[in-house]
Amino acid sequence: MNDNQQIPGIETSYYSPGNDNNPDGKYVTYELWEDKHPEKVIAGQKIENAGQQTFSKEQLETAIPVWKNKAKKRHLKQAMITIQADIGKGAEFLYGYTNGCKEVPPNARFYVKKPIFDKNIVTVKLTENPGKSMIYQSPLNSPTIIEEIVNFGKLLAHFFDGEFFKLFKEYSVNKDDDPIFISHFIIDNSKLKNKN
């Protein structure tokens, strides 16, 4: 799963989470994990050709209590959910340590992109891949999580229909990034509340 790669002129070893997506595919992957510990994933699933119905209110009203119960049984202090929509291989990154550590970085151990909590970890974006990713992330105990995920689901059709830059401009937490050079963005959760 984790490929060890060397970048010419740099001694750091880089690792990839691995990606077997079809270049023409459309995927949604979710992972449940412990906040500040991206390697502590307790559940997840990749769904091909997911749509708005994948995250309907009815489905989430059933799934979220199950996820919360699983997090409680696994003793997660602050359970997080990350949902990543990918066109093709999505935005691909390699992860490595700058301090000589030879371990596989936590962010390279699982599929979805999560925040980096160790200042000694550096990332390298694979630029030859034209894939795109749209990412939602939230504490599992958020009081508005169902509303947010339902509205995230409504954005999937627009994302998969090629409206990446339009969605980036309206929903990204990092609007200052130059959209020409980005291959992924993280959703501003406040923009997912009270949408029609």
Alpha helices in the chain (DSSP H): 57-73, 145-160, 164-171
pLDDT, average across residues 108-123: 94
Q: Give the pLDDT confidence score for residue 129 in this predicted structure.
A: 74
Query: How does pLDDT run across 62-100, given as a tens digit for each residue?
Result: 999 999 999 999 999 999 999 999 999 999 999 999 988
pLDDT, average across residues 22-34: 94
- Using CA atoms, how far apart are residues 62 and 193, in angstroms rounded to an integer? 20
- Could you give the strand order of the β-sheet that contains 3-6, starting from the edge strand earlier in sequence? 3-6, 13-16, 93-97, 121-125
Residues belonging to the chain: 196
Residue 79 exposed, middle or buried by CB count within 10 Å (0-12, 13-18, 19+): buried
Q: Give the pLDDT confidence score for residue 32 in this predicted structure.
A: 97
Which of the 8 DSSP states describes residue 164? H
Q: Check whether 137 has a pLDDT greater than 90.
A: yes
- Using CA atoms, how far apart are residues 24 and 131, in angstroms rounded to an integer? 9
Prediction pTM value: 0.91
Q: Give the pLDDT confidence score for residue 7 in this predicted structure.
A: 55
